[in-house]
Amino acid sequence: MSTRMGRLRAWFYAMFVEHNLVNLFRRNFHKLADDAFRSAQPTMSQLERTVKKHGIRTIINLKDSRPDSPYYNFEAEKCRALNVSLVDVNIASRHFPSPDKLRQAKDLFEKAEYPIWIHCKAGADRSSIYATLFQHFKLGMPLDQTDQLNLWPYGHIKHSGAGKFDYFLEKYLEYRTTHPEVGFLEWAETVADYAQLNQEFKPGGLAAFINDHVLGRE
Protein backbone atom coordinates (compact mmCIF):
# COMPACT_ATOMS: atom_id res chain seq x y z
CA MET A 1 0.00 0.00 0.00
CA SER A 2 2.99 2.32 0.38
CA THR A 3 4.05 2.24 -3.30
CA ARG A 4 2.19 2.84 -6.53
CA MET A 5 2.83 -0.72 -7.75
CA GLY A 6 1.85 -2.14 -4.37
CA ARG A 7 -1.42 -0.21 -4.39
CA LEU A 8 -2.14 -1.40 -7.92
CA ARG A 9 -1.61 -5.03 -6.91
CA ALA A 10 -3.78 -4.48 -3.84
CA TRP A 11 -6.51 -2.94 -5.99
CA PHE A 12 -6.52 -5.94 -8.36
CA TYR A 13 -6.68 -8.30 -5.39
CA ALA A 14 -9.58 -6.39 -3.84
CA MET A 15 -11.50 -6.26 -7.10
CA PHE A 16 -10.98 -9.81 -8.35
CA VAL A 17 -10.10 -11.99 -5.35
CA GLU A 18 -12.20 -10.20 -2.74
CA HIS A 19 -15.02 -9.86 -5.29
CA ASN A 20 -15.35 -6.09 -5.11
CA LEU A 21 -15.76 -6.04 -8.90
CA VAL A 22 -19.26 -7.53 -8.52
CA ASN A 23 -20.38 -4.46 -6.63
CA LEU A 24 -19.80 -2.25 -9.63
CA PHE A 25 -22.91 -3.91 -11.04
CA ARG A 26 -24.90 -4.88 -7.94
CA ARG A 27 -24.55 -2.54 -4.99
CA ASN A 28 -27.50 -4.12 -3.17
CA PHE A 29 -28.01 -0.71 -1.54
CA HIS A 30 -31.23 -0.17 0.42
CA LYS A 31 -32.68 2.34 2.84
CA LEU A 32 -33.58 1.08 6.33
CA ALA A 33 -34.63 4.44 7.76
CA ASP A 34 -33.97 8.10 7.01
CA ASP A 35 -30.64 7.73 8.80
CA ALA A 36 -29.73 4.09 8.13
CA PHE A 37 -28.75 2.12 5.03
CA ARG A 38 -27.53 -1.38 4.11
CA SER A 39 -25.56 -2.71 1.16
CA ALA A 40 -22.88 -4.96 -0.23
CA GLN A 41 -19.24 -3.90 0.16
CA PRO A 42 -18.90 -0.67 -1.85
CA THR A 43 -16.08 0.23 -4.16
CA MET A 44 -14.12 3.22 -2.90
CA SER A 45 -15.76 5.57 -5.38
CA GLN A 46 -19.19 4.29 -4.35
CA LEU A 47 -18.23 4.72 -0.71
CA GLU A 48 -17.19 8.34 -1.19
CA ARG A 49 -20.26 9.26 -3.24
CA THR A 50 -22.66 7.61 -0.80
CA VAL A 51 -21.05 9.15 2.28
CA LYS A 52 -21.35 12.61 0.75
CA LYS A 53 -24.87 12.06 -0.59
CA HIS A 54 -26.37 10.77 2.67
CA GLY A 55 -24.06 12.42 5.19
CA ILE A 56 -22.93 9.06 6.57
CA ARG A 57 -21.13 9.34 9.91
CA THR A 58 -20.64 5.66 10.77
CA ILE A 59 -19.96 2.65 8.57
CA ILE A 60 -20.59 -0.73 10.21
CA ASN A 61 -18.37 -3.29 8.51
CA LEU A 62 -19.69 -6.79 9.21
CA LYS A 63 -16.58 -8.42 7.71
CA ASP A 64 -14.58 -7.62 10.86
CA SER A 65 -11.13 -6.02 11.00
CA ARG A 66 -8.82 -7.67 8.45
CA PRO A 67 -5.41 -5.97 8.38
CA ASP A 68 -4.19 -8.43 5.71
CA SER A 69 -7.09 -7.62 3.38
CA PRO A 70 -6.42 -5.03 0.65
CA TYR A 71 -10.12 -4.19 0.54
CA TYR A 72 -10.23 -3.55 4.27
CA ASN A 73 -7.16 -1.31 4.11
CA PHE A 74 -8.62 0.72 1.24
CA GLU A 75 -11.90 1.13 3.13
CA ALA A 76 -10.19 2.15 6.38
CA GLU A 77 -8.04 4.63 4.47
CA LYS A 78 -11.08 6.13 2.71
CA CYS A 79 -13.04 6.42 5.95
CA ARG A 80 -10.16 8.28 7.59
CA ALA A 81 -10.00 10.66 4.64
CA LEU A 82 -13.76 11.31 4.86
CA ASN A 83 -13.76 11.56 8.67
CA VAL A 84 -16.20 8.67 8.95
CA SER A 85 -16.12 6.19 11.83
CA LEU A 86 -15.48 2.62 10.67
CA VAL A 87 -16.83 0.07 13.15
CA ASP A 88 -15.68 -3.50 12.56
CA VAL A 89 -18.08 -6.23 13.66
CA ASN A 90 -17.38 -9.95 13.72
CA ILE A 91 -20.61 -11.77 12.96
CA ALA A 92 -21.13 -14.94 10.94
CA SER A 93 -24.24 -15.91 9.03
CA ARG A 94 -23.51 -19.61 9.53
CA HIS A 95 -23.51 -19.52 13.33
CA PHE A 96 -26.32 -18.82 15.74
CA PRO A 97 -25.74 -15.38 17.28
CA SER A 98 -24.54 -15.51 20.86
CA PRO A 99 -26.17 -13.24 23.46
CA ASP A 100 -22.96 -11.18 23.45
CA LYS A 101 -23.23 -10.63 19.69
CA LEU A 102 -26.86 -9.57 20.03
CA ARG A 103 -26.10 -7.20 22.88
CA GLN A 104 -23.16 -5.77 20.91
CA ALA A 105 -25.54 -4.94 18.05
CA LYS A 106 -28.07 -3.34 20.41
CA ASP A 107 -25.39 -1.23 22.08
CA LEU A 108 -23.90 -0.21 18.75
CA PHE A 109 -27.23 1.01 17.39
CA GLU A 110 -27.76 3.04 20.55
CA LYS A 111 -24.31 4.64 20.60
CA ALA A 112 -23.39 5.07 16.92
CA GLU A 113 -23.31 8.49 15.32
CA TYR A 114 -26.00 8.64 12.65
CA PRO A 115 -26.55 8.33 9.73
CA ILE A 116 -25.15 4.80 9.63
CA TRP A 117 -24.37 2.45 6.76
CA ILE A 118 -24.24 -1.32 7.30
CA HIS A 119 -22.44 -3.58 4.85
CA CYS A 120 -20.96 -7.05 4.57
CA LYS A 121 -19.59 -8.65 1.39
CA ALA A 122 -22.63 -9.30 -0.78
CA GLY A 123 -25.16 -7.42 1.35
CA ALA A 124 -27.31 -10.54 1.53
CA ASP A 125 -26.78 -12.51 4.72
CA ARG A 126 -24.88 -10.68 7.45
CA SER A 127 -26.37 -7.36 6.36
CA SER A 128 -29.83 -8.94 6.52
CA ILE A 129 -29.14 -10.12 10.07
CA TYR A 130 -27.93 -6.72 11.24
CA ALA A 131 -30.72 -4.90 9.40
CA THR A 132 -33.23 -7.12 11.21
CA LEU A 133 -31.58 -6.35 14.55
CA PHE A 134 -31.63 -2.64 13.68
CA GLN A 135 -35.35 -2.76 13.00
CA HIS A 136 -35.96 -4.56 16.29
CA PHE A 137 -33.53 -2.89 18.68
CA LYS A 138 -33.46 0.63 17.24
CA LEU A 139 -36.85 1.04 15.59
CA GLY A 140 -38.73 -1.08 18.13
CA MET A 141 -40.25 -3.29 15.45
CA PRO A 142 -41.57 -6.69 16.60
CA LEU A 143 -39.41 -9.45 15.16
CA ASP A 144 -42.34 -11.06 13.37
CA GLN A 145 -42.85 -7.79 11.48
CA THR A 146 -39.25 -7.29 10.31
CA ASP A 147 -38.71 -7.66 6.57
CA GLN A 148 -34.98 -7.86 5.91
CA LEU A 149 -34.36 -11.62 5.68
CA ASN A 150 -35.65 -12.00 2.13
CA LEU A 151 -34.38 -13.42 -1.14
CA TRP A 152 -35.74 -10.38 -2.99
CA PRO A 153 -34.35 -7.82 -3.15
CA TYR A 154 -31.47 -8.65 -0.80
CA GLY A 155 -30.39 -12.09 -2.04
CA HIS A 156 -30.69 -13.84 1.33
CA ILE A 157 -31.11 -17.62 0.91
CA LYS A 158 -32.71 -18.81 4.14
CA HIS A 159 -32.61 -22.53 3.29
CA SER A 160 -28.82 -22.50 3.00
CA GLY A 161 -26.32 -22.53 5.85
CA ALA A 162 -26.88 -18.77 6.06
CA GLY A 163 -30.40 -19.43 7.30
CA LYS A 164 -29.37 -20.12 10.88
CA PHE A 165 -30.50 -16.69 12.02
CA ASP A 166 -33.91 -17.25 10.37
CA TYR A 167 -34.23 -20.51 12.29
CA PHE A 168 -33.11 -18.77 15.48
CA LEU A 169 -35.90 -16.21 15.08
CA GLU A 170 -38.44 -18.91 14.29
CA LYS A 171 -37.58 -20.76 17.50
CA TYR A 172 -37.85 -17.57 19.55
CA LEU A 173 -41.19 -16.60 18.01
CA GLU A 174 -42.44 -20.12 18.62
CA TYR A 175 -41.41 -19.85 22.28
CA ARG A 176 -42.98 -16.41 22.59
CA THR A 177 -46.42 -17.73 21.72
CA THR A 178 -46.58 -19.25 25.21
CA HIS A 179 -44.19 -16.83 26.94
CA PRO A 180 -45.05 -13.36 25.54
CA GLU A 181 -43.28 -11.64 28.42
CA VAL A 182 -39.84 -12.99 27.42
CA GLY A 183 -37.85 -10.64 25.18
CA PHE A 184 -35.47 -11.72 22.46
CA LEU A 185 -32.28 -11.01 24.39
CA GLU A 186 -33.59 -12.69 27.52
CA TRP A 187 -34.55 -15.77 25.52
CA ALA A 188 -31.11 -15.94 23.92
CA GLU A 189 -29.40 -15.57 27.29
CA THR A 190 -31.51 -17.88 29.42
CA VAL A 191 -33.64 -20.19 27.28
CA ALA A 192 -32.04 -20.91 23.90
CA ASP A 193 -30.26 -24.26 23.79
CA TYR A 194 -27.52 -23.62 21.25
CA ALA A 195 -26.35 -27.23 21.13
CA GLN A 196 -29.85 -28.42 20.37
CA LEU A 197 -30.40 -25.69 17.79
CA ASN A 198 -27.23 -26.72 15.98
CA GLN A 199 -28.37 -30.33 16.01
CA GLU A 200 -31.83 -29.48 14.71
CA PHE A 201 -30.89 -27.05 11.93
CA LYS A 202 -30.61 -28.71 8.51
CA PRO A 203 -29.78 -26.51 5.50
CA GLY A 204 -31.16 -27.48 2.11
CA GLY A 205 -28.62 -29.24 -0.10
CA LEU A 206 -29.22 -27.25 -3.29
CA ALA A 207 -29.59 -23.93 -1.45
CA ALA A 208 -26.37 -24.56 0.47
CA PHE A 209 -24.54 -25.49 -2.73
CA ILE A 210 -25.68 -22.32 -4.50
CA ASN A 211 -24.88 -20.03 -1.57
CA ASP A 212 -21.59 -21.58 -0.52
CA HIS A 213 -20.07 -22.78 -3.78
CA VAL A 214 -21.72 -20.96 -6.70
CA LEU A 215 -22.04 -17.53 -5.06
CA GLY A 216 -19.11 -17.98 -2.67
CA ARG A 217 -20.86 -16.24 0.22
CA GLU A 218 -19.08 -15.89 3.55
The confidence score (pLDDT) of residue 215 equals 56
The confidence score (pLDDT) of residue 54 equals 98
Q: Is the pLDDT of residue 214 over 70?
A: no
The pLDDT-based confidence of 70 (bands split at 50, 70, 90) is very high
Tens of pLDDT, residue by residue over 159-196, are: 898 999 999 999 999 999 999 999 999 999 999 999 99
Worst-scoring range by mean pLDDT, 4-8, 70-74, 200-204, 209-213? Answer: 209-213
How far apart CA 40 and CA 4 sit, in angstroms, is 27
The confidence score (pLDDT) of residue 203 equals 87
The confidence score (pLDDT) of residue 199 equals 97
Domains and CATH numbers, the chain: 4-214 (3.90.190.10)
The confidence score (pLDDT) of residue 127 equals 98
Q: What percent of the chain has pLDDT over 90?
A: 90
Q: Is the pLDDT of residue 206 over 80?
A: no
The pLDDT-based confidence of 208 (bands split at 50, 70, 90) is low
Average pLDDT, the chain: 94
Over residues 12-19, the mean pLDDT reads 95
Q: Is the pLDDT of residue 82 over 70?
A: yes
